[in-house]
């Protein structure tokens, strides 16, 4: 399969790039810059784009991608500077910070997918995977307003896309992920990554396996939404 991953330079995105490449897929990464530690031979499968400017980024990615894509994974998202800390206060946030978050988390996927859907529909089994968050679920127990709202919006984007292109069998999946152990990539054994997370952080290996299952389904089936919190996340 030909897979495009937006937000692939580090964390979950890099694990997805490495894992799906290892599986034999043709994977194209997208980020602001090419990772310095990228293996030789993979640099030609990387697109640089800064989604702080959603229009320019969407145009850049669209112009550099092939005419047919099987899977698009939008794994890009930013949050407030004080998010997930005791110092977060909604009324202290700067307007510029909120506008930047909305541009990256909402405007960017809308503009990019508008350009990439025709390339996906040229595939016999087109799939979109949007990385959401448990913070975007109803009654999530998190106070980060702009981030939570943006991830809630991503679910709306997925629902509307699905209905727009149901007859063309475009499968759209949202991954509602909890807290991740982004410090341990796939070269660290899964058991060790899980142990280091202490039950409160999800190993990246688990998310990669879920994505493998999702893109491996037949064209007759899809996973609509996957809610994946850590086992000791008391919000769930």
Of 101, 16, 117, which is closest to residue 6 (Cα–Cα)? 16
Q: Which residues pair with 74 in a beta bridge?
A: 6, 130
pLDDT bucket at 90, cuts 50 / 70 / 90: confident
Taking 80 as the threshold, does the pLDDT of residue 52 lie above it?
yes
Banded model confidence at residue 87, pLDDT cuts 50, 70, 90: confident
Give the residue extent of every domain in the chain: 2-228
Whether the predicted pLDDT of 8 surpasses 80: yes
pLDDT surpasses 80 at 186: yes
Q: Is the whole-model pTM more than 0.75?
A: yes
pLDDT value for 40: 62
Checking if the pLDDT of 36 tops 80, the result is yes
Mean pLDDT of 55-71: 97
Q: CA-CA distance, 55 to 40, in Å (whole number)?
A: 30
Region 79-86: mean pLDDT is 83
Which pLDDT belongs to residue 84? 82
pLDDT over threshold 90, residue 174: yes
Query: Using one digit for the tens of pLDDT, what is the confidence trace for 202-221?
Result: 999 999 999 999 999 999 99
Query: Quick one: pLDDT band at residue 21, thresholds 50, 70, 90?
Result: very high
CA distances from 228 to 32, 145, 206, 213 (A): 28, 21, 10, 14
Per-residue pLDDT reduced to its tens digit, 110-166: 999 999 999 999 999 999 999 999 988 888 888 888 888 899 999 999 999 999 999
Query: What is the CATH T-level fold of the domain 2-228, as seen in this structure?
Result: Rossmann fold (3.40.50)
Average pLDDT on 90-95 reads 88
- Would you place residue 19 in the very low, low, confident or very high pLDDT band (cuts 50, 70, 90)? very high
Confidence of residue 41 (pLDDT cuts 50, 70, 90): low
Cα distance between residue 140 and residue 44, in whole Å = 40
First to last CA, the chain: 34
Share of the chain above pLDDT 90, in %: 79
């Amino acid at each position: 399969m030909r897979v495009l991953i937006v937000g692939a330079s580090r964390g979950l995105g890099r694990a997805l790039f490495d894992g799906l490449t290892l599986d034999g897929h043709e994977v194209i990464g997208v980020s602001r810059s090419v990772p310095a530690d990228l293996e030789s031979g993979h640099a030609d499968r990387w697109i640089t784009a800064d989604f702080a400017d959603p229009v320019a980024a969407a145009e850049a990615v669209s112009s550099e991608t092939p005419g047919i894509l099987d899977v698009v994974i939008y794994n890009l998202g930013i949050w407030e500077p004080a998010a997930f800390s005791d110092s977060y206060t909604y009324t202290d946030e700067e307007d510029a910070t909120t506008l930047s978050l909305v541009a990256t988390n909402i405007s960017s996927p809308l503009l990019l997918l508008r350009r990439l859907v025709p390339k996906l529909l040229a595939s016999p089994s087109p799939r979109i995977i949007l990385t959401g968050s448990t913070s975007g679920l109803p009654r999530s127990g998190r106070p980060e307003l702009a981030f939570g709202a943006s991830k809630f919006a991503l679910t709306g984007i997925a629902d509307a896309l699905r209905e727009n292109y149901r007859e063309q069998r475009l499968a759209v999946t949202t991954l509602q992920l909890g807290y991740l152990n982004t410090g341990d990539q796939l070269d660290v054994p899964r058991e060790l990554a899980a142990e280091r997370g202490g039950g409160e952080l999800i190993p990246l290996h688990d998310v990669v396996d879920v994505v493998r299952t999702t893109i491996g389904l037949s064209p007759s089936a899809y996973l609509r939404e996957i809610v994946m919190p850590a086992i000791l996340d008391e919000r769930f």
